[in-house]
Structure 1
Amino acid sequence: MKRSGPLLTLLAGLLVALFMLSLNATTGEKPTSASVEESPATKASPSPTATRTTPPPSPGPSRSPVADADYAGRTDDDSAAVAVTLRDGRAIAYFCDGRDKESWLKGDVEDDGTMKLTGKNGSELTGALKQGKRIRGTVDIDGGHYAFTADKAVKPSGLYRATATVREAKIDGGWIVLKDGSQVGVLTRDGKPSPAPEIDPETGAVTVDGRQLTAEPVIP
């Protein structure tokens, strides 16, 4: 009895089994690691930086320029008179004792009503407007120090001046008309001071050495 038949059958089965195993090994898929890409939506976006804005500084209270007006009064010791005229932020003042001492002064007026006016030979007026009704201050002239109060003037009160040449002499006169109607003035002839003759407050007319002149209101 021959035994080669079963043996061949067994070998054929083994070959088939090896072929199938080899086929699975070559065609089988290796597991791939899934690469997870982060979507744009899931990416952390930087938080916007808060912009800090500094509010503009609040404007300070506005101040109006000092109103145009005239002021006239006397020194505290009643030895002299002072008049101040304000126009468009400028001031001109006159100090005189009605005999031989006088000074014309001028300068700017600050919006708060303070002023520092200067004149010849170092004379100086420092003052402040009080509620638009009066000027309170001091005048320094020829070594003297005079405190004064000049109230708001109503025409014909105020400050007047006349300049001319009379009989070949240069005339320069200044007058302060006070609210009670009294006058204080100094007239210089070629630089020599003397008491001034009175003017007509309504017209400004004045007679100097036989010649009629007109004293005009002073404007800075």
Structure 2
Amino acid sequence: MKRSGPLLTLLAGLLLGLFMLSLNATTGEKKTSASVTESPSPKASSPPTTPSPSPPPSPSKSPVPNADYAGRTDDDSSAVAVSLRDGRAIAYFCDGRDKESWLKGDVEDDGSMKLTGKGGAELNGTLKQGKRISGTVDIGGGHYTFTADKAIKPSGLYRATATVRSAKFDGGWIVLKDGTQVGILNKNGKPSPAPEIDPETGAVTIDGRQLTARPVTP
């Protein structure tokens, strides 16, 4: 009976050792499983953005060309001449007897123009393809439509001013493409039909004195 004591003690020690080994193994598995973490999945890369193309530059507007224009009203009663220079315009309306007006103003980029003169006279016109000016003239209660084609020298607009024997003269002439001249000569403010000028030189004789009518520009 005395020998069974040490055997029980040995058996108890073996059981305790097996229990400790089993406990350590279980703890190690938990630590290993806890230490394993899922690595985050890589984010899908965004496709490269293509920059939107910049709008093409707007075409630059061509300036209104410098030129002269001359023609008649639609009722053939009067003549109209217009001279354009650097975005400015001067025009002359004349019936060759006693009705006339000098008008001035700006020319827009689209070729439109509104010119004004004394007594409320007004010319509204539009340059078309650089070849002609079409529009209207309102003067002295009358309303006139006109077309003035591009002038080739000596066709165009002329003017002469002078003082002869204490009299003040102011003459305006429109030379049309067929050579016809329409003009008025004012003597001390009184209008009358103007004598013809030499279209090549502009020479004109007024009250016995030779003067020179020169091309008119703004």
Deviations 1:118-165 (A, max 9, x none): 222221112223343322211111111011121222211110011233
Alignment coverage as a number of residue pairs: 212
Match of 1:180 among 174, 178, 181: 178
Secondary structure of 1:213's counterpart equals strand
Q: In structure 1, how many angstroms separate the alpha carbons of the residues matched to 2:89 and 2:137?
A: 14
Instruction: Give the alignment partner of residue 210 of structure 1, picking from 203, 208, 211.
Output: 208
With structure 2 as the length reference, what TM-score do the two structures score? 0.83
* Distance of aligned partners of 1:49 and 1:168 in 2 relative to their CA distance in 1, 3 Å threshold: farther
**Residue of structure 2 equivalent to 1:35:** 35
1-side partners of 2:182 and 2:4: how far apart?
156
Distance 1:172 1:24, change over 3 A: farther
The question of 1:22 aligning with 2:2 is answered: no
- CA separation in 2, counterparts of 1:209 and 1:155? 27
- Secondary structure (helix, strand or coil) at the match of 2:36 reads coil
If the length of structure 1 is used for normalisation, what is the TM-score? 0.83
Overall identity of the aligned pairs, in %: 70
How many Å separate the matches in 2 of 1:122 and 1:134?
A: 25
Distance 1:169 1:14, change over 3 A: farther
Match of 1:9 in 2: 3
Identify which range, 20-29 or 138-147, moves more after superposition: 20-29
Which is worse superposed, 48-57 or 64-73? 48-57
Which consecutive segments of 4 or more residues in structure 1 shift more than 6 A?
none
Q: Pick from 154, 168, 171: which aligns with 2:169?
A: 171
Distance 1:49 1:192, change over 3 A: farther
> Greater CA radius of gyration, 1 or 2?
1
C-alpha distance after superposition, 1:1-37 (max 9, x if no partner): xxxxxx2221111111112222344454123232333
Q: Does the residue aligned with 1:66 lie in a helix, a strand or coil?
A: coil
Runs (5+) with no aligned partner, structure 2: none
> Which whole-Å CA distance do the structure 2 matches of 1:43 and 1:171 have between them?
100
Aligned partner of 1:19: which letter? Answer: G
Query: 1:61-210 maps to which residues of 2 (within 5 A)?
Result: 61-210=59-208
Bigger shift: 144-153 or 65-74? 65-74
